[in-house]
Chains A and B, each alone.
Chain A
């Protein structure tokens, strides 16, 4: 066996703090809930300003067309309309957005409104501002756009054909990125394996977590100061700042993002920066704040869809004992019409190259194309779940084709508990885990043997089929932004981090602000829990600022809430800031109590001498000495404490090797193991989920109730995607699901009760032993597809689609006797 990479990544283990414990680890109810339950939250559409206008975008009905002319005169003549902005104006007033891709993909030019051409149904060509949302919508109808339709390309693989309709002339083809990831020695593995399982095609579909609150923003280009105030629900505001600033030619101190409550985001709300840019220009032009809230159809058409990926020519070398040696595959990612955060999806999957298995030889020939569809944007499980679905499909197909038990085959190939830290073929380091235990717990929760028996008893003729499926997945978190250099070595990005600011305020209150933009993950609560432990007080007394405000919250360029990392980066920052504050408090207390710092302890909002609680000073006393009584202190002490402590948590990363495409791309690897039991009606294809369990491992848990909530949510969205939720385009590029009538978001009747089990393998690499979680790695897609396959007869085709409507399931069950199965086994 040749060229298996030698271990090249070392991650230092973190010295564990000993102060977490009294509050951390407890399911304390959330601090955020009161305002939500009383209807007193502040979402973006709740924001109101004097002289504010309502914006409405004019969208293309065509998938691909030249813009011949845009006439806004009738719209502007309507009573109550403040004005309009068009693509031609935008081209004069702003620069195209910077591109992550290297040339030629990076030559792509996108402004905040379409210039010259529209490239998908929903592409915005103009925007109107009016005194009410109703008038704005009327006025948008009055904008007359003359289009010259062009042929559309909606298939991501066909788009790579040199003769396909070209979206972006300046790119020269529809291929925006291509690279070969080659680890180990796949040719050796294919030549030496006992079996090679070949799968023709697997297709991971487009869908979106469709946050219930649509994208929204109130943007005011302040005329006096030149500051652009942006109150929005963008979930990655500092990334948005980095993109918007150069486009508008303004420095970062002129862009001020704010948000408070965000009604779900799931990655989708990274993508609102073009609209925010257009609103800024509109506000500047018309001298008014511009408020925009998407209608649901706007959101479905243009807010961004999750990545669609097609895998072809899949070859899997397997030994007689079931050892899966490797995977060889060609992957095509279809980014839609523009590159929003893409082509990062072309590398982010490589955080989880072997999935949960000791697969050593992997070759992925990866192509990313553009097509006449809505641009993709990160969606819960971004890019990794597509790859993990491929790996899980492979494991189940291997089991089915070679006659292995899916449980035993998994356990045989899993990375074992003693293997951690485990270095993957591309030099990522999996921090910790116990996959066999997680699988046993999940199987136990559904009573697997009982279902197997029931399945056998059911037999033919009942009209029903029972299928049982397993999905093991990873939720990699705290990514190393250096992986962007694997896409484009010129990009000046690497590492990651988050900031927090802890302060003892005038009356001794502990105040904390964060760089994050939570969307329901309970940051105010969990941050208060860790800070409370460090400062010896109740979380009720830790005031965490609700929401993000660039004017006074602290931040780094990575700030925001995305990619399963808060428990590591956000809490790492909060803990660091609290530790700094604790050190200052102790220093002042030691002076005031004439005691040695080593003899002091914190508790109940006081500092006291250990063993003598009478000798104590409350936090208000510390605050008094520093803020308003500092002549009492020694000059040296007064000059060295501020009780205002900022900390930036920086994870231990190096810059990846862009040529070898290796490096430690993620700090933590939470895992989830799902087991799905479903029943299919043979006559209709109707599916009912009979039992569902998840075993979760996100290391040390700070708030178990919140973690369970994240597991439930990710599970329901994944089941929704697997069975109900899909975005499909017809051949002309018309979206067929543009409201919740057609896009069936999973309801309480569709979703099963979800049983949860827990494994806790603390991460050795993080400040608190936690691993980031929340995205969930798309495990329900893996488990549901496996369960459907399990319910089919041996002659049935491979379940090759990640989305299986009842109709598709009906067709799989009632397949032609000799239908192509899409799989072949070559045995030596």
Chain B
């Protein structure tokens, strides 16, 4: 599923050459001016872990980290990330092994359908970098931009809290 696809050729929009680093790997591509970053990730590069839930920047399913900042990739155009370094859900596991945060979501049932999960993980990663030991209230504020329709947030909050206690926050802080 992660095969790269041909860029669309019939679109008459302006094309831009960009160079972007994603999860440590550099990609050079020509993108159309109007292509959303999320569609660049998903359709052009086949990085389909990042999801689209709303198209209006409301739901956070498309959350990724661009140059250290948590953003919603449906609210950014692909040409805007020229020269940037991007982190997506695909970059979280190391050598195929779940990281502390991911493992905590598994152990605490922090996901059901899994659709919001990649965005939720990126939001939590960002939160733990800024605040390695967040309170429940701080966790809820940290994921306020991410909608989940399955879990009622209870076990997501629990997962992030447990991950922080297991040292995920400290590790993220050190990785900055």
Q: A residues near B, CB below 8 A?
A: 27, 29-30, 32-43, 45-46, 48, 79-80, 131-135, 209-214, 261-264, 266, 293, 295-297, 519-522, 705-706, 708-709, 712-717, 739-741, 745, 747-749, 751, 753-754
- Counting residue pairs across A and B whose Cβ atoms lie within 8 Å, the total is 200
Complex: chain A residue closest to B49, CB-CB: A39
Contact B152–A713 (Cβ < 8 Å):
yes
What residues of chain A lie closer than 8 Å to B121, measured between beta carbons? 37
Complex: chain B residue closest to A209, CB-CB: B149
The CA of A739 and the CA of B54, in the complex, are separated in Å by 7
What residues of chain A lie closer than 8 Å to B48, measured between beta carbons? 39, 43, 45-46
Q: Considering the complex, which residues of chain B in the window 51-89 have a beta carbon less than 8 Å from any beta carbon of chain A?
A: 51-56, 58-59, 61, 88-89
B125 at the interface (CB under 8 A from A): no
Contact A741–B113 (Cβ < 8 Å):
no
What residues of chain B lie closer than 8 Å to A30, measured between beta carbons? 106, 109
Complex: chain B residue closest to A295, CB-CB: B55
B144 at the interface (CB under 8 A from A): yes
> Which of B50, B58, B146 is the most central at the interface, judged by chain A CB atoms within 10 Å of its CB?
B58
Contact B34–A212 (Cβ < 8 Å):
no
Contact A29–B106 (Cβ < 8 Å):
yes
Out of B47, B53, B89, B152, which one reaches A213, CB within 8 Å?
A: B53
Contact B151–A39 (Cβ < 8 Å):
no
Out of A32, A261, A715, A745, which one reaches B147, CB within 8 Å?
A: A745
Given that A46-B1, A296-B54 are known contacts, is A37 also in contact with B147, CB under 8 Å in the complex?
Answer: no
Contact A29–B55 (Cβ < 8 Å):
no
B141 at the interface (CB under 8 A from A): yes
> Which of A293, A712, A748 is the most central at the interface, judged by chain B CB atoms within 10 Å of its CB?
A748
Q: How far is the CB of A194 from chain B (nearest CB, A)?
A: 42
What residues of chain A lie closer than 8 Å to B118, measured between beta carbons? 36, 39
What are 21 A-B pairs at a CB distance below 8 A?
A29-B106, A38-B90, A39-B47, A39-B49, A39-B118, A45-B52, A133-B39, A134-B32, A211-B149, A212-B53, A213-B51, A261-B113, A263-B113, A521-B112, A709-B112, A712-B155, A739-B54, A748-B144, A748-B146, A753-B157, A754-B154
The CA of A29 and the CA of B154, in the complex, are separated in Å by 16
Q: B residues near A, CB below 8 A?
A: 1, 3, 5, 8, 10-12, 32, 34-35, 39, 42, 47-56, 58-59, 61, 88-90, 92-93, 98, 102, 105-107, 109, 111-118, 121, 136, 139-141, 143-144, 146-157
The CA of A262 and the CA of B113, in the complex, are separated in Å by 6
What residues of chain A lie closer than 8 Å to B152, measured between beta carbons? 712-717, 751, 754
Across the A-B interface, the 3 shortest Cβ-Cβ residue pairs: A39-B49, A263-B115, A716-B152
What residues of chain A lie closer than 8 Å to B102, measured between beta carbons? 37-38
Q: How far is the CB of A552 from chain B (nearest CB, A)?
A: 20
Given that A39-B48, A46-B1, A210-B149 are known contacts, is A264 also in contact with B98, CB under 8 Å in the complex?
Answer: no
The CA of A210 and the CA of B59, in the complex, are separated in Å by 11
What residues of chain A lie closer than 8 Å to B112, measured between beta carbons? 264, 519-522, 709, 713
What residues of chain B lie closer than 8 Å to A132, measured between beta carbons? 8, 10-11
Contact A749–B114 (Cβ < 8 Å):
no
Contact A740–B149 (Cβ < 8 Å):
no
What residues of chain B lie closer than 8 Å to A37, measured between beta carbons? 89, 92-93, 98, 102, 105-106, 111, 114, 117, 121
Contact A135–B53 (Cβ < 8 Å):
no
What residues of chain B lie closer than 8 Å to A715, measured between beta carbons? 152
What residues of chain B lie closer than 8 Å to A35, measured between beta carbons? 114
Q: How far is the CB of A529 from chain B (nearest CB, A)?
A: 14
Contact A212–B11 (Cβ < 8 Å):
no
Q: How far is the CB of B34 from chain A (nearest CB, A)?
A: 6
Out of B93, B111, B149, which one reaches A33, CB within 8 Å?
A: B111
Contact A263–B111 (Cβ < 8 Å):
no
Q: Name 5 extra pairs, CB < 8 A, besides A37-B114, A212-B147, A520-B113.
A: A38-B92, A42-B1, A43-B115, A717-B152, A749-B140
Q: How far is the CB of A478 from chain B (nearest CB, A)?
A: 21
Given that A40-B49, A261-B114 are known contacts, is A753 also in contact with B136, CB under 8 Å in the complex?
Answer: yes
> Which of B32, B98, B114, B154 is the most central at the interface, judged by chain A CB atoms within 10 Å of its CB?
B114
Q: How far is the CB of A209 from chain B (nearest CB, A)?
A: 6
Contact B117–A80 (Cβ < 8 Å):
no
Given that A37-B121, A296-B56 are known contacts, is A716 also in contact with B115, CB under 8 Å in the complex?
Answer: no
Contact B106–A131 (Cβ < 8 Å):
no
Out of A266, A297, A520, A747, which one reaches B144, CB within 8 Å?
A: A747
